[in-house]
Every structure is written in C-alpha cells, then in structure tokens.
Amino acid sequence: MEKAAVRALAQKVRADLEQTAHLNLQALRGPRLPEEAGLQQDLLLRKASLVGEAALCRGAAYRFFMQLAGIRFLEVNGCLPLRVLTPAPSEELPEILAHWLRRHEDTLDRDDLYTRLVLAECTRLHGAMPDFFPAPACDDLLLSLHCTRGAAFLFRNELPENNWRDNVEIIGWLYQYYHLEEKSRAIDLYRGAVKMHDVPAATQFFTTDWVVQYMVQNTLGRIWLESRPDSRLRTQMPYYLDTPQKTTRPVMEPTQLRLLDPCMGSGHILVYAFDLLLNIYAECGYSAAEAAPLILQHNLWGLDLDDHSRQLTAFALLMKAHACSPDILRKHPVLHLCAMRGSKGIARETLHYAANGSEALEDDLHRMVSAYRGAQQFGSLLHAPKVDSALLQARFAEIRQESWPGNLFKMEARRKVLEQLEPLFQQTGILAGTYDAVVTNPPYLNHMAKPLRKFVDANWPKYNNDLFAVFMVRNFDFCKPNGYCGFMTPFVWMFIKSYVHLRRFLADKKSVSSLVQLEYSAFEEATVPVCTFVLQNKKEEDPGRYLKLTGFSGGMVEMGRRVAQAAAHPGSTWDYEARLSDFRQIPDSPFAYWAGGSIARVFRQGRPLGADTAICNGLFTCSNQRFLRLWWEVEPDNIDFSCTGEPDCRKSLCRWFPYNKGGAYRKWYGNQEWVVDFADFGAEIRNYRVKSGQSAAMPGRQHYFQESLSWGFVSSSKFSVRAYPAGFVFDIAGSSLFPKPEDRLYRLGFLGSSTAFELLQVLNPTLNCQVGDISRLPILEAKDRSGIEKLVAEAVALCREDWDENETSWNFIGHPLLQAAGSTLEQALESRRKTANTRCQKLQTNEEAINRHFATLYGTGAPVKTAPDDLSVTPADPQRDAQTLLSFFVGVFFGRFPCTFWRPPQDRPVLLLEEAPRLFTEFLEARFGQGAADALAPLLGKGTTAYVLKRWFTRTFFRSHCQLYRKRPIYWQTCCGKPALLYYHSNLTAAVRFLATLSPKEKKLQALAAHPPVFDRNDGIPANFAKLQAILRSIR
C-alpha cells in the first residue's frame, strides 16, 4: 500500500469536501427550495445555528468521505452492480451515471444528477450496512459531486486500484490520515492535558501488520495449538514464537474460541483474527462460506470509546465475511462490537416502561444507568454492573415484539428503550464477558483530562502513569485463567522507576510468554519507542522468550523480518530466555532479560551507590532563556569563578556563576560553558519559580558550589560522567553526585567504566538516565584502589588539557600550535600531531585499564576495549588547527588574548577584512618566519595564499565562528559599508562610528552612528546583536 499516496488522497478529499459543504451551506441561506427539499433545508439551517457552521460542515464532510471511501472499496472489489466512481471500460462517465443516461432523458445538470445517484446508492447500501452508510439526512444537501474534478474524481484517479483490492485495511488508514490535523492538535503536549473528546484522535494509530499477526498468532493461535498440538496451523503463523512454557488444554472446537480487542480502533486486530480463524475452521472441515458467519457470531468481540471506530471495524469485518460468503449482508449478521455509550439524559419514564412493574428489572436498569454515566470518558476501563442478564435479555426481546398502534406515548417510550437502554445492555454483556485472548494496542496517554485522571487515580493508583499501563492490568479482568493478553505499548514500563508496581504485579501474578523489544525509533507512528508482547494469565512456571531488536536499524520492516527469523530459527544472539523471578533480584525489578545470573549476583552483593553518596537532581530555572548565558556572552568580570558556597554567593558582587547544564557525551572533564544569573543565591530565580507555579525551593541547593561528579540527563547510546571542580550550580539536565573526597576518583572511575554502563542498561536502557538509576548502581570495593585512582586522575588531567585548548574554555591561555615546539610552522604542526596522538593513546590505555579492573571485580564480562571515536580528547587535525589559529589571531587583534610576538594596530576599533590577510600573514611570520602563510594556506583551501586567506576571512570565517560559538558569536561581520569584524566585548558604539566615517553614504551606518543603541551584555548576544542587525550578516 502506498501510504504517502493514501495520506495525500485523504487530505485532498477532505479539503474539497469541506470547501464544498461551506459553499453549499451559504447557497442554502438563499431562496427556499421546493417541497421536501425545502423542509430539509429548514432542518439544516436550524442545525447550523445549533452546532455552528464549521462543526456542521466538518461533520458532513467526514460522513461523505467515509461513504465515498467505502463505495470505492466495494466497486474495486466487485461488490456493486454498477461502478459508482469509475467508468465502465471504453466510457468516460462514471458507470452509474452513464447507465442512467442511457435509460432516461433527464433535464438535471449532469453533476447534480450524479450527486443524486451517489446518494441513492448510499441509501441502498444503508439497508445492508447501516453502521457505515447512515440513513439519508438533511446534511446530504451539503454534498456536490463532479464527474471530472473534486472528491469523486480524486478517489478515482489519485490512488491506483491495487491499493484497494482485497485490502480493507485501507479504510482505516484513510480514516487516520483524514484526522491528522486533529491528532497533531490533540497531542500537542504544550497544550496540557488531552481533552476527553480528543482522546480518540490523540491515541489511535494503525498497528503495523506484522505486530498484529505476532500478537494474534501468539495468543489465539497459541491457544489452538495448546488444544490441538498436531494442528497444521503452526505452518501458517510466521511470527509464532515457540516458548519453554507449556500449557495443556482440553480439545476445543473453533466456536469456543473468544477474542476481545477492548480498544479496537479501526479493527485491524479483529480483521486479522478473522483470517486466522478461517484457517482454524478450515482445518476442522468448514468451508469459508460456512465459517464466516460463525466467526462473527462466536469468536470476535470489540469495544472502543469512539463510534467511528465501531463503524470502521464493522465495515472491515463485513467485507471480510462478504468475500467468503457473498450473501451474508442480506442476513444482517449481528456483530459483537460496541462504542461505549453513556447514560446521560435517560428519563425515569423510560426506565419505568422497560421495567414493566418488576422491581428486580428496575434495580438492574438503575445499576446500568449509574455505571455508565462516564462511559464515553472511561471506555472499556469500566467494569460491568452486576445485573440479571437473562432477565434483561428476555425483557428487551419482549419490547422488540411490542406494538402500540395509535399510542404515541408508548411508541415513543419503546423507541427510547431500544435506542438508549438496549445498547447499554449490549456493552454490559461484552464488559462482563471473559475471553481466551485479549489483544490490543491500548491508548498511550499520560496527559489526561481531570475526569479521566480522577477515575484512573481512584481505581488504579499504582498503575496510573499512563493509560496503556492501566489497560495492561485491566485486560486481565477480561482474560480467562491461563488465557493470553497481547499488547503493543511503549517500552518504558519495563525499566523506569515509576512503573515498578506494574512490573511487580506481572512478576508476582502473571507470566511472560514472549516479548519483542523494538529498535528505539522503529515505529514512527507511535513517536515513542515500543515493544510488543504476550502475557499469560497465570503465575510463571517456565521462562519466557525475549527478542532484543534494539541494535537493528531498518524500521518496522526489518523488525518484522527479525521476528520471523527468530520464529523459524531460534537461538540467535538477540534471542533470550528469562524468568520474571530473576528480575525481582534487581532493584525495582527492571525487565533486564538479557542480563543473566551474574548481573543479579552483583546487585545482591553490592551496596547501592546512593546508600552513602548524595545524588541530586539539579535546578530547574523555569526560563533558561532568561537566566542562562554561555559564559562569553556576559562581561568576564561579572562572573564569579571562585564561589565555594551560599555565604560566598550572597557576598559576591558578581551576577553570574558557573553552571553545569549537562551537555553532550564527554567523559572525565569538560562541558563547562554556561553561567547562571544567581546573584543573592538565586533570589530572582526563586521569585520567578513561584510566579511560574513552582516551589521556591531549589533542588540540591545544599550542594551548590561543591565539587561533584555529573552526567547528562539525556544520553545517547553511550554514558559519560565528568568531574566538576568547586564553584558550580548544577541544572536538572546536569544531575550530580557528591562522593566523599576519599571516594571521588574511585567512584568516577567506576561510573566511567563499561561495567557501570552495562549495569545502567539493566536498570534503565532508555535515553534518560535519572538520579534513581545512578543511586541503584551496586558498589563493590577493591582491596587496593590506588592504581585505579591514579589512572582516573590522569584521565581527568588529559581531558582537561584537551578542553582548555579550545578558546571557548574560560581557562584557555593560548593556541596549541603557537605553544608547540618548533621554529617553523611545519615543525609546530608535527609537534602538535605527536602531542595530540600521544594524549589519545594514553587516554585509551587508561580507559581500557579502568574497564578491565571493574569488569574483573564485578564479573559481568563487560567489554574492555575503548573505540577511538569514544575518546573525549581530540586527535590531531591540522585543518582544524589552522582554522582555529585564524580565530585566535582575531582575538589577539581585539586584545582578547595576550601575544608576546606581535602587536596589532592601535588605531583600529574594527578589523577591516581587506586588511585581515595582510595582518594575519604578519602575525604568522612573526612567530614562524617567512613563508609560514604559504605553508598554512593549503590547510584552508585551494588557490594562492592571498586568494585562500581573502576567501576565508570574507566568506568562511563568520560562518565557522558562529558554529564554534554555538550561534552566539563574539565577532560580528558587517554587511554594510566596508566589510569588517566587530568585537562584542569592545566599544561597539566607537566601532560603528569608525565604520560610518569610512562610508559616509551608507544611511544605515550613519543612522546608527548618530543614534547608537545602548548595549547590555547581561541580556546576551542575540539581544545585543539584534540592535545592529541592520548592518550585520545574519547568524547561521
């Protein structure tokens, strides 16, 4: 199926139908139509005034869209006597229109006639499929179809027929793509909780085919195989995973199998279950025509919050059944599908009529009405009220047979009972039922509206993090003992602390049959990493089977291929067996199925790191834009680098203080770039937190400015810890730990080792490494730590040297090329190469020794080797050194960096780019002698030295500088007058006036020189840059 084309079709047709509906509604506000059409016009205009024009047109457009999609599917699959949207061979007009014109002379406009014929066909189909094709309504006046353009034309021409043929799932995809706008709006997390009416749009998405097959094959299919071990069904289930678990069942007949999807969406799971059941019935000697009605009657049940879902699922199942038994639609089969109905607005008189004087009946009816007041908010999470089903069923059967000719009151009461109360009874039957297999892709929702949040907190307080977790527990109420529940959910429940009660519930009371953990971004539709799994409703006796696909790229296609491979050929390196009881031995019971017994032993023997080490979340400012700056944005003299605690901070005359904000992967030392506005120990931040609805308390404040070890909250596939000296406030993204001084280096070595990373992967393999995960790491002490501490101290020193060689470090003292040994540039480059490579080799040797020590101590078999790309020091790179040397020169020109061998001109508040190549050549030759510029130029580009240097300063330097300084450049390039560089920390007013004297005709320069803006470095570079934006090149 061409999903991109399906998406484009849905959005184009929606736009056309909504525009057409609006235009027709405006036209209907004109003269009144004759006869019956006029009555429909009156009804429509009244409806528009009640619900609003936009809502009316939106609803009508959706209704027409689904009917046209259904017609297109029916005609492509040969289910209609005449094609409605497409011509017959060798004809131009749609077949239904051409057929009419051949038999009638009609004076109607051809498009009007076509619209009427399409609506007439929808009315005919309503008799066979009333759920999908609604009865005629006044909304029909809003539909206008055209033979050669618009919605009908798009359905005919935008999507090839092969996408429709024998593929009823396309209706579900069209439905989802039609509602993309609503889905995007509903899941905008910055809007807060998802409103109740947006829950279907926010949580419905189409489950990948192979995942549906895996879930159904390993629940329904497994039950059949357990009942009939010799069945040939195993060969028809490519995603069936044999497991160590063995459950023996008595022989079952096909009609005894019951499967429920309590969040059925567009029915994808039920549709595939229909296919699998056909194979089961065939194995028992039934023809497809015989099996189809039996499957609908005995095997499949579905619930959902949304009536559109019920309609889609009903259509899909009926089309499946129709393909097997073409006359089934004439028999009007009963489908066990319900959209949860609420009981609001049911009158007492309706209950009295239904009870017919029976107190028992009236009590049951009241219980039903009371139970379903929140049904449209809580859906299948509700439990069925306890009622006498046989008594109610008999009474509803009586009411259906009742007839009250001439008694309008009783006729109306009867209608209300059948429309309002009988659906409640039908959903009670499904909710009260138990099923062999319960399979679903439940809603993923943690931002709940207040009524839903209150309901979930009251009924599932231990599992209330997300709706999917609640359904994982709730669905076992539907499931028979020894039955199976199949799910697809985010995989966070397997690891993070907030789902510990769910994990313990499963470990204590249920068992895992199989679980497939997918690669982090494999399922794009879900926007979260997911897993799919099958649980059995009994306490574990045997290990479960687990597939770890996190290391494979290639999206869902590759994931499905790997599952099929494991099904056919067990025993791959990513195919595991594990017991839930083993997980209980690890703190908070993460589902670390790949870990093995040695890991559990380490957790039993080790002492949690958090037992004797303070580990804290950091500060949440509520506005980083307001309170944080990169250190070069503010005046250096206004940064206090020597603060040691709260008393120092309160006495300090500085406004800015070093800030640990986490940052990218870097081990041992570094990521020291930020400062925070923390005067008077963060008084302004505290006030702002209170205004933003947060507590004035600042997490971890007792440890601010202390020496620490820190890691980034969001990590990649690697984990890195760094040592921070005293003097830092730390951020929530730079959470920190504060070991005793005598433990600091050893703890840093452990956390920087491959063993710690493997243990963290057990505790939480998601991208977010939290305080609780670090706290639970087990600590084993070595008898002699001195050797490891020496290696760690050297690693810190090596990474500090590397960090401070960058001019973005506040401890930068000079360019490494200028400090390298050698009197010529070539000699300096060679010396620099040796120094950088020696540093890399030394750090690699140290890291591998640290890894080896902890791998041996812990006995986990963690890898020892460190890849060169994982080292946090920079290897020799002559091109980079050449580029940063130009930047250093610019700093020397403006007096930012000291230089003993060259003095810049003293009469220049700006660096004119036409002079820059000459001045740089002088600077270079003053250090390395004549010809140094010629030796450097090839490292910057091709061409003559003069050409390369000119191009670099005029075209490349500013772009490179913006990249180096994180789009907070301190040198600004002009685009007005003579090209030049300005220095942010210089007298910018004097610089602008100097440029204005060089270009007296440049109006922008003259205006700024005459009325210079006021600059405040505390506001940061973007705010100050904007004041001269008119004469500057844009930051990119």
Quick check: is 110 in a domain?
yes
Lowest model confidence (mean pLDDT) among 81-85, 127-131, 498-502, 596-600:
596-600
Q: Which of 870, 905, 922 is the last residue of a domain?
A: 870
For the chain, what is the domain count? 4
Which of these, 203, 189, 435, 383, lies nearest to 309 by C-alpha position?
203
Verify that 909 and 954 share a domain, yes or no. yes
Query: Is the full-model pTM beyond 0.85?
Result: no
What's residue 190's pLDDT? 36
Quick check: is 188 in a domain?
no
Flag whether pLDDT at 1019 surpasses 70. yes
* Alpha helices (runs of H) in 79-178, residue ranges in sequence order: 95-103, 110-128, 150-157, 169-178
Flag whether pLDDT at 189 surpasses 50. no
Verify that 751 and 841 share a domain, yes or no. yes
- Rounded to whole angstroms, what are the CA distances from 320 to 122, 279, 313? 20, 13, 11
Quick check: is 366 in a domain?
yes
What's residue 696's pLDDT? 82
What's residue 193's pLDDT? 57
In terms of C-beta distances under 8 Å and separation of at least 24 residues, what long-range contacts does 421-424 make, across chains too?
A: 421/346, 421/350, 421/351, 421/354, 421/365, 421/368, 421/396, 422/396, 423/338, 423/341, 424/341, 424/343, 424/368, 424/369, 424/372
Instruction: Let me know: does 243 contact 545? Beta carbons within 8 Å.
Output: yes
Compute the distance between CA of residue 558 and CA of residue 547 in angstroms, rounded to an integer.
Answer: 13
Q: What tokens does 479 get?
A: 């499931």
Contacts of 64 (CB under 8 A, 6+ apart): 17, 142, 143, 151
Whose tokens are 């300063």? That residue is 953
What's residue 197's pLDDT? 56
Verify that 853 and 885 share a domain, yes or no. no
Q: Partners of 155 in the beta sheet?
A: none
Helix (H) or strand (E) holding 736: strand 736-738
Contacts of 266 (CB under 8 A, 6+ apart): 169, 171, 172, 175, 176, 204, 206, 309, 312, 313, 316
Bigger pLDDT: 742 vs 347: 742
Q: What is the mean pLDDT of residues 908-916?
A: 95
Per-residue pLDDT of 204-252, as tens digits, reads 567 889 999 999 999 999 999 999 999 999 999 999 999 988 888 999 9
Phi-psi region of 886 (alpha: psi -120 to 50; beta: other; left: phi over 0): alpha
Quick check: is 839 in a domain?
yes
What's residue 203's pLDDT? 53
Which of these, 736, 707, 710, lies nearest to 721 by C-alpha position?
710
Q: Over pLDDT 70: what percentage of the chain?
A: 97
Mean pLDDT across the chain, nearest whole number? Answer: 92
Verify that 863 and 951 share a domain, yes or no. no
- Dihedral of CA 458/462/467/472: which sign? negative
Compute the distance between CA of residue 843 and CA of residue 796 in angstroms, rounded to an integer.
Answer: 9
Q: Over pLDDT 90: what percentage of the chain?
A: 75
Verify that 768 and 835 share a domain, yes or no. yes
User: Band of the pLDDT at 25, cuts 50, 70, 90?
Assistant: very high
Helix (H) or strand (E) holding 363: helix 359-371
Verify that 690 and 839 share a domain, yes or no. yes
The amino acid occupying position 412 is: E
Q: Which of 853, 870, 887 is the last residue of a domain?
A: 870
Q: What is the mean pLDDT of residues 313-322?
A: 94
Residue-wise over 793-828: b if at least 16 C-beta within 10 A, else e? bebbebbbebbbbbbbbeebebbbbbebeeeebeeb
- Looking at residue 378, what DSSP letter applies? H
Flag whether pLDDT at 862 surpasses 80. yes
Burial of 564 (C-beta count, 10 Å sphere; 0-12/13-18/19+): middle
Which of these, 87, 97, 72, 95, lies nearest to 151 by C-alpha position?
72
Verify that 74 and 160 share a domain, yes or no. yes
Q: What is the mean pLDDT of residues 830-855?
A: 97
Backbone torsions φ then ψ of 658, nearest 5 degrees? -55, 145
Which of these, 306, 449, 465, lies nearest to 375 by C-alpha position?
306
Instruction: Let me know: does 556 contact 210? Beta carbons within 8 Å.
Output: yes
Residue-wise over 599-615: b if at least 16 C-beta within 10 A, else e? bbebbeebebbbeebbb
Instruction: Let me know: does 518 contact 560? Beta carbons within 8 Å.
Output: no
Flag whether pLDDT at 525 surpasses 80. no
Q: What is the mean pLDDT of residues 634-658?
A: 97
Backbone torsions φ then ψ of 323, nearest 5 degrees? -65, -25
Q: Which of 392, 419, 446 is the last residue of a domain?
A: 419
Verify that 859 and 901 share a domain, yes or no. no
Backbone torsions φ then ψ of 573, nearest 5 degrees? -65, -15
Q: What is the mean pLDDT of residues 330-350?
A: 90
Flag whether pLDDT at 183 surpasses 70. no
Instruction: Let me know: does 492 contact 499? Beta carbons within 8 Å.
Output: yes
What's residue 948's pLDDT? 97
What's residue 131's pLDDT? 84
Q: What is the mean pLDDT of residues 323-343?
A: 91
Verify that 775 and 908 share a domain, yes or no. no
Instruction: Let me know: does 337 contact 264? Beta carbons within 8 Å.
Output: yes
User: Band of the pLDDT at 714, cuts 50, 70, 90?
Assistant: low
Verify that 737 and 856 share a domain, yes or no. yes
Quick check: is 914 in a domain?
yes
User: Band of the pLDDT at 154, cuts 50, 70, 90?
Assistant: very high
3-class state of residue 574 by DSSP = coil
Q: Which domain holds residue 718?
A: 610-870
Instruction: Let me know: does 780 contact 606? Beta carbons within 8 Å.
Output: yes
User: Band of the pLDDT at 279, cuts 50, 70, 90?
Assistant: very high
Flag whether pLDDT at 188 surpasses 70. no
Compute the distance between CA of residue 733 and CA of residue 715 in angstroms, rounded to an integer.
Answer: 10
Verify that 744 and 804 share a domain, yes or no. yes
What's residue 1020's pLDDT? 97
Quick check: is 476 in a domain?
no
Helix (H) or strand (E) holding 699: none
Per-residue pLDDT of 242-269, as tens digits, reads 998 888 899 999 999 999 999 999 899 9
Compute the distance between CA of residue 515 and CA of residue 899 in angstroms, rounded to an integer.
Answer: 64
Instruction: Let me know: does 258 contact 336? Beta carbons within 8 Å.
Output: no
Flag whether pLDDT at 681 surpasses 90. yes
Bigger pLDDT: 514 vs 769: 514
Please count the other Cβ atoms lying within 10 Å of the Cβ belonging to residue 99.
17
Instruction: Let me know: does 247 contact 460? Beta carbons within 8 Å.
Output: no
Quick check: is 990 in a domain?
yes
Residue-wise over 441-467: b if at least 16 C-beta within 10 A, else e? bbbbbbbbbeebeebbeebbeebbbbb
Quick check: is 620 in a domain?
yes
Verify that 93 and 38 share a domain, yes or no. yes
3-class state of residue 140 by DSSP = helix
Q: How far from each other are the two terminal CA atoms of the chain, in whole angstroms?
A: 40
Compute the distance between CA of residue 293 and CA of residue 324 in angstroms, rounded to an integer.
Answer: 9
CA atoms within 13 A on the CB side of 56: 25
Compute the distance between CA of residue 689 and CA of residue 638 in angstroms, rounded to an integer.
Answer: 24
